[in-house]
Amino acid sequence: MLLEQLESQLEQARRRRAEALKEGAEELGSVYALAKQLHLSWTAVAHAIKKYTTE
């Protein structure tokens, strides 16, 4: 039960983060620009956005 709750909360956090990444990419004009600003790989950012913002 506790493990299921934690997994659900983790999934919700991933979706919120992906939505924030998507908004950031839209504001900056590209996933690459956002990734560069955050010092992350653009592929990691693009993957998170794709995986957690599409259903």
Residue 43 lies in a domain: yes
Confidence of residue 55 (pLDDT cuts 50, 70, 90): low
pLDDT tens-place string over residues 10-29: 999 999 999 999 999 999 99
Q: Residue 29 corresponds to which tokens in the numbers above? A: 């004009």
Q: Residue 43 corresponds to which tokens in the numbers above? A: 């592929």
Q: Which domain holds residue 28?
A: 14-53
Residue 31 lies in a domain: yes
Using a cut of 0.85, tell me whether the model's pTM lies above it: yes
Residue 1 lies in a domain: no
CB 12 within 8 A of CB 52: no
